[in-house]
Amino acid sequence: MDTLNFIYVVAALLIFVSIMTSTLSARLGVPLLLLFLAVGMLAGEEGVMGIQFADYNLANFMGQAALACILLDGGLRTSLQSFRVGLKPAVTLASWGVLATVMVLGVFATWLLDVDWRLGVLMAAIVGSTDAAAVFSLLRNGGVKLNDRVQATLEIESGANDPLAILLVTAMIALNLDPASQGIGDIALMLISQIGIGLISGLIAGWGLSRLLPKVYLAEGMYAILILSAGLAVFGATNMLGGSGFLAVYLAGVVIGNTKVRATEHVLRVMDSFAWLSQAGLFVVLGLLVKPSSILEVWHYSLLIFLFLLFVARPFAVASSLLPFRFGWRETGFISWVGLRGAVPITLAIIPVTMQVPGADLAFNITFGVVILSLLAQGTTIPMMSRLFRVWVPTDHEPKAEHEIWVGDQANITLYEFEVKAGAFAIGRHPQSISSKVNSNEISVFAVVRNERLLTVNDETILKMGDVVWYAIRGDHAANIAKIFNNTATQYQKNSEFYGDWLLSPHALIADLPFYNVATRTLNNSRLGRLPPVASALDVFTVAPTVTGLSGIDDELINRLTEAQNLTVEEYMLSQFNTEPVKGDEIRLNDSWSLIVRDVDSKGRIRGIGLKNLNRDK
């Protein structure tokens, strides 16, 4: 009994310490998953607690269960709208991208380690796929908002690339143990069954559960347990049928999450805790499993393989995968950089060890080193690289928080939280009369909190800096209300630096824009040796709060505008895009001027366009 209680105490303390380290993650700029690993390694055989743990079978069992939970949670939070812009490139990355990475990296690993090519390709297959736990965690909690195309592509890829990676690892294990047991036909059949059965079972299970939820009335916390248990059942059953359980549980989560019913809100709240517990437990166990001295013995191999993966194999795979979709070089570069490795490679590296594949210990230790380097080098630099590659977008039009309250099986009220920032337009205004552009029937004050106390709202109540207001809002007004509560000067500065000083209607004709007329007159006058009148420069756009000048008007700009003079601004931009537009997409008119998408609706239609003078930033 004492031994059992000791296990309880140690396991609980490890999880407790791991969660408490989350408060240090943001301050230190270190990915939280890496801190979980560090806690496990410090408690392990060569750490301060000296816990001896070498049960690879138990670690594999826990790893697969945790990954299934993480993928289920990721699917629940994946909007079908992201499939519109990211499905095709993500599927290509999850198939050809993984295969290309394994082929290129396999050749390098075989040469570097001077091992049999089967072991070299096995090692490449283990680290060939990106990790859903790392991608979901770092992209959604990394403090930066990526454009929808990049975010969707990375998230869907990480959730869909496991089947091929598992297939390649399984095939290479068989080739290492018995080279005559696997042929090309066997591998192709395994791939078809993994993807086909996983796809069908995931969609069927998701559809069935989405229909079941509205008909079951449970305590709020029970819905998540129901979905989690069903998800694990789908995961296990799909694996037994020869399909990809990871793909099935992810797709089931996507179908359920996009079915808006009373139960889904409860599921999302509790599943977030389950996912974090799974990540913490998984990385702590993996940290216990490894010996730091073993990693240090092969650290130079891990470093060289990681650098080759980061700068050669992953860029080649991404560039060749995204070529048919004509992604911009900035987006391709960022997606290449964020090929995060995490729990999946380590979990896959455990399988050869349990099956006693020759050289499996070497592969496991090198894989662990690659994962640590990936989390350190890639995970800590996501915000910086998103700005370097210009794939981020401003995030000042969002409420502080939101919660859904369901008043019927198909009826809900959404509560939004807003905080009055310094310099906000909301200061000095009554909370109910916050905006004349929103009908009073569509917005209602739910609560006002001042100095952490509930404030009684009457006719004389006015908002002060620091107040927190909760609104019940009908319709799509949350973004407009957020503008009123945010610092207007900071908000304008951030938007103008990114989108430019001018806001254009997507329905305006190129030929009707004053910019076109002024530019044409400027070019004609310059040819005649005359300067344009000052009034013309001031009439560029009536919505411009300041005039940044008309430098950069040249033949290239005039030719572009003349060819498109009968098109609307939206039609012109769509003619230049090779993919569906997303917020932040840019069309360069010349070296001095560009058009930038400011807003896109749920159907992919452009709703706002910015005109930016690039010389302003110089």
Cβ atoms within 10 Å, residue 545: 9
pLDDT winner (highest mean) among 101-115, 421-435, 472-486: 101-115
pLDDT winner (highest mean) among 337-346, 368-377, 545-554: 368-377
Report the percent of the chain where pLDDT is more than 90.
18
pLDDT digits (tens, 9 = 90+) for 242-300: 888 888 998 998 898 888 776 666 677 778 778 778 877 888 888 888 888 888 999 99
Residue 163 tokens, joined: 């089947």
Specify whether the CB–CB gap between 335 and 156 falls below 8 A: no
Q: What is the pLDDT of residue 550?
A: 52
Q: What is the pLDDT of residue 541?
A: 38
Q: What is the pLDDT of residue 493?
A: 62
Q: Is the pLDDT of residue 115 over 70?
A: yes
Closest CA to 40 of 17, 58, 61: 17
Q: What is the pLDDT of residue 563?
A: 76
Q: Is the pLDDT of residue 204 over 90?
A: yes
pLDDT digits (tens, 9 = 90+) for 53-105: 778 888 888 888 888 888 888 788 777 777 778 888 988 998 899 999 999 99
Q: What is the pLDDT of residue 17?
A: 72
Q: Is the pLDDT of residue 494 over 70?
A: no
pLDDT winner (highest mean) among 46-50, 118-122, 153-157, 488-492: 118-122
Domains recognised in the chain with CATH numbers: 1-46+56-392 (1.20.1530.20), 401-491 (3.30.70.1450), 500-524+549-613 (3.30.465.10)
With tokens 């000067």, the residue in question is 489
Residue 132 tokens, joined: 């859903």
Q: Is the pLDDT of residue 110 over 70?
A: yes
DSSP H or E segment with residue 338: none
Specify whether the CB–CB gap between 53 and 288 falls below 8 A: yes
Average pLDDT, the chain: 80
Specify whether the CB–CB gap between 69 and 232 falls below 8 A: yes
pLDDT digits (tens, 9 = 90+) for 63-77: 888 888 888 887 887
Strand partners, 613: 593
295-304, 314-323, 394-403 — which is least confidently predicted?
A: 394-403
Q: Is the pLDDT of residue 393 over 80?
A: yes
Burial of 579 (0-12, 13-18, 19+ CB in 10 A): middle
Q: Is the pLDDT of residue 217 over 60?
A: yes
- Residue 432 or residue 396, greater confidence: 432
Q: What is the pLDDT of residue 54?
A: 78
DSSP 609: E
Q: Which amino acid, residue 149? A: R
Q: What span, in angstroms and rounded, lies between the C-alpha atoms of 107 and 384?
A: 32
Q: If pLDDT is split at 50, 70 and 90, which confidence band does 530 have?
A: very low
Closest CA to 118 of 158, 84, 169, 59: 169
With tokens 């975010």, the residue in question is 151
Average pLDDT over residues 306-319: 95
User: Quick one: residue 604, left, alpha or beta (phi over 0 = left, psi -120 to 50 = alpha)?
Assistant: left
Q: Is the pLDDT of residue 491 over 70?
A: no
Specify whether the CB–CB gap between 187 and 167 falls below 8 A: yes
Q: What is the pLDDT of residue 549?
A: 47
Q: Is the pLDDT of residue 152 over 70?
A: yes
Q: What span, in angstroms and rounded, lies between the C-alpha atoms of 131 and 360?
A: 21
Beta strands across the sheet bearing 443-450 = 401-406, 412-419, 468-473, 443-450, 453-455
DSSP H or E segment with residue 491: helix 488-499
Specify whether the CB–CB gap between 274 and 223 falls below 8 A: no
3-state secondary structure of 31: coil
67-71, 182-186, 498-502, 540-544 — which is least confidently predicted?
A: 540-544
Report the percent of the chain where pLDDT is more than 70.
83
Phi, psi of 26 (to 5 degrees): -65, -40
Q: If pLDDT is split at 50, 70 and 90, which confidence band does 551 have?
A: low
- Residue 120 or residue 588, greater confidence: 120
Beta strands in 522-601 (DSSP E): 586-588, 593-600
Its pTM surpasses 0.75: yes
